Structure 1
Amino acid sequence: MSSTLAGAFGVAALFVAVLALVFAIQALRARTVTSDKSTPAALPEPEPQSEPEPKPGTVKSELRKLGKELAVTRGELKETLQHLAVVRYDAFGETGGKLSWSMAILDNNGDGVVLTSINSRADARTYAKEIKSFASESKLSPEEEEAIDTLRKEAGPTVD
């Protein structure tokens, strides 16, 4: 499962949890209203032009809090390393099986890291290079460039 799909499932699960919370609060309020039949029902007041802050513990206030938390979570999610591309290859002619690899792990801004492992018959060497806006100050191999280009194309023309 791709990390983008996992992130989408996470947002969907959060949405379902918010709905469940709303229904639970409404059920609790309905139970307290039906148990207190002795007080006459008040007529709903008209909505004022500028909406005041809802009372704590009401459905409206809980939804407002959850909306703010969801906005913060979405902002934080954009900065997580969630995009991954791997390129496998034979670094040396005498080895086979494409045991060498380069892997780019980036966030929505194109910031992150590219990891490379070059394997030969005698040893393996691993390298890490910092990536900022889909570019690196270090010289990148063609395979590292390919991994980054794959994620750049997935990001589309504009990156949030």
Structure 2
Amino acid sequence: MSPTLAGLIGLIALLVATLALVFAIQALKALRNPTAVPARHKPAEQLPQATHRQTPGTHVKPGAAALTEPERAAKPLTVKDDLRQLHKEVDALRGELGHALRHLAVVRYDAFGDVGGRLSWSTALLDDLGNGVVLTSINGRSDARSYAKDVREFVSESKLSPEEAEAIEQLRLKVQPATT
């Protein structure tokens, strides 16, 4: 693997790790904030106390929190309900993941005959539907040019170089069989 490609992959990995760290910090803050915890996960001593009088013939354990009318009307969640909710959330996350730019293809080449070392490159970054961007850097002896072109369903409205088209085609062959 060339040092430039390794650097690009390392940069992308650093970006993903940074985003994961930010999400983890926010999750920890939410867990430490007691107002962010749903009532069903709070200890009984933190639940609201009853504001109405006990009617004759009913028994309430001393120190136990009585439920208010809206809380009594709401059915307590069971393990099955929790599992159903988790399945819904996982399905939603999978749907969102399909729109993440998570497929990468890099094509390296010599753009000019007088420059060797395959210093020029085209990179396609696409989601599961073939939407994303193709990035190109053309490097010569005296200058360098960079291009970014939108891609929708594995096709770009901009004219593509053969190397850009090759990077997109590599991902189309990799991604489309998984989505059909």
Q: TM-score, normalised by structure 2?
A: 0.57
Contact persistence 1:108–1:155 (CA under 8 A): yes
- Please name the residue that 1:66 is paired with: 86
Q: Does 1:83 align with 2:103?
A: yes
Match of 2:173 among 146, 149, 153: 153
- Please name the residue that 1:38 is paired with: none
Q: Does 1:102 align with 2:119?
A: no
Greater Cα offset, 86-95 or 57-66: 57-66
Deviation at 1:96, TM superposition (A): 0.7
Q: Which runs of 4+ in 1 moved over 6 A?
A: none
Q: Which runs of 5+ in 1 are unaligned?
A: 7-53
Q: Which runs of 5+ in 2 are unaligned?
A: 1-8, 17-73
Q: For 1:75, give the aligned amino acid.
A: G
Counterpart CA distance in 1 for 2:76 and 2:95 is 25
Counterpart CA distance in 2 for 1:95 and 1:158 is 39
1:4-44 C-alpha deviation (Å, 9 max, x unpaired): xx9xxxxxxxxxxxxxxxxxxxxxxxxxxxxxxxxxxxxxx
- Please name the residue that 1:125 is paired with: 145
Counterpart CA distance in 1 for 2:96 and 2:78 is 27
1:105-127 C-alpha deviation (Å, 9 max, x unpaired): 00000000000000001111100
Q: TM-score, normalised by structure 1?
A: 0.64
* Bigger Rg, which one: 2
**RMSD, aligned CA:** 2.2
Counterpart CA distance in 2 for 1:110 and 1:65 is 30
1:41-87 C-alpha deviation (Å, 9 max, x unpaired): xxxxxxxxxxxxx9434211211110110010010011110100000
